[in-house]
Structure 1
Amino acid sequence: MATGTSKFNTFTFFKLPSAWWCGVRLRYLDEKKAVTTVTHRWVNQNPFKSMFWAVQGMAAELSTGAMVIDQIRSSGKKISMLVQNNKAHFSKKATGKITFTCEDGHLIADAIQKTIATGEGQKIWMKSVGVNDDGVEVSTFNFEWTVKLKG
């Protein structure tokens, strides 16, 4: 693991406080996979007594973005990152603890190397799947990340 999850969770507290207060936490991170969790509570629920879609989106985005941040740091270069698009699908009411897993970290290094080599922005789509405690898929998010060499 390149960077500790506690360091990212501290980052979340200071830089993404709404995610932190809603209970989003990074649980696992390496160069290929990241896992986040969020538990349904009063503070993150919708009027239908399930988890608000945006809270699921924050947890899903962190599972993709943590790997992008980590690999940018490892490159030693100044590279900007931004979500340009996202798509989501909701298949079941999200209650209890939801775990989001992204296993698309292998896509990041190539995009970073291409932006360093060419100076042109690169785009990659990364998928994060959320499952409940029973292993049932509740939502799937796809994020189009852009990376570009600064300066």
Structure 2
Amino acid sequence: MVTPENSLLQSYRYNHADSYKQVFVSNRTDLNSTTVGKLFFSSGPKWMERLFTLRNRVVKVFGLKTSGDMKTRDEQLKHFQCKPGEQLGLFRVFDKNEKEVIIGEDDKHLNFRVSLLLHDPNALKKELIITTIVQFNNRFGRIYFALIKPFHTAVVRSMVKGIIRELQV
């Protein structure tokens, strides 16, 4: 599976795609794409914040977009509604329906989208799929992504676990 069937990502072009799926059990019936979208920004481990701070310092030299101050992100998250057009740090909400939210950003080297898709949100057994697609805009984008791909993989896998840990409560 690269991009899930029925995903909003089906209409996007990309050079790279990866997808991570986790099935979990939860009695919660109030789950939707907004819940998952907000958890994406609040359930990551502390090492991830340090990694993004380092990334911001390095890419700033190359004139790439950064996620801004991690301390102000917590304040922004309180008011975040996960609506198309909203921005939180480096991530802008591009599209959304009841089960899925698409976040990402466009930059001079590459464009990326992250799909947070929650299948069967009202069932006892649920499925969370996080899919990332990347469109390279130039050679630097390919080189950049090749360098960060191992970190990307670790971050996304950790994000899936963190989000599910919160959803199972």
More strand by share: 1
Q: Which has the higher contact order (CA 8 A, sep 6+)?
A: 2
Q: Give me the TM-score of the superposition, normalised by structure 1.
A: 0.30
Q: Give me the TM-score of the superposition, normalised by structure 2.
A: 0.27
